[in-house]
Amino acid sequence: MGTYEEKLGILSELISFARVDHSLKRSEYEFLLKVASNLGVDKETFDGLLKKKSPKITLKTQAERIVQFHRLLLLMNIDQEQHKKEVDTLYNIGLKMGLPPAAMAQVLEIMHRYPNKVVPPDVLINIFKAHYN
């Protein structure tokens, strides 16, 4: 994984996405805190990002972009609610990352087939692989 600044940028993007509905639910906060911990970012720094955004980053590899898309998808579904604005925002973030629109649409369609709408990583990867071949 990239530099510490890239990790802060990843978290900032996730925080911004979580606030699309103008709130940050407890379940979303806890999910984000776990992601921060997995990225090696301490709670104090993470809480600071809630108040002040980190600079926007560009993920270098396609694999990093797919992982970030998956994080965003998990975050969207953590509260068991999907609002049109969240789905549209997720899709637009994916477009800005250069992900194939058809692959994202397929993921958003099949997520409803899985418990808690959690698409397994191998299924997600296979969908994106199919669209790159």
Give the separation between CA 30 and CA 24, rounded to whole angstroms: 10
Split at pLDDT 50, 70, 90, the class of 67 is very high
Query: Residues 57, 96: contact at Cβ < 8 Å?
Result: no
Give the pLDDT confidence score for residue 50 in this predicted structure.
93
Query: Residues 86, 47: contact at Cβ < 8 Å?
Result: no
Least confident of 7-21, 48-62, 118-132: 48-62
Query: Residues 114, 77: contact at Cβ < 8 Å?
Result: no
Q: Is the pTM of this model over 0.85?
A: yes
Give the alpha-carbon dihedral of 83, 88, 92, 95, to 10 degrees: 110
Q: Is the pLDDT of residue 57 over 70?
A: yes
Residue 45, burial from CB neighbour count under 10 angstroms (0-12, 13-18, 19+): middle
pLDDT in tens, 10-51: 999 999 999 988 888 999 999 999 999 999 999 999 999 999
Q: Which two tokens stand for residue 110?
A: 């099949």
Q: Among 2, 5, 78, which residue's Cα sits nearest to residue 45? A: 5
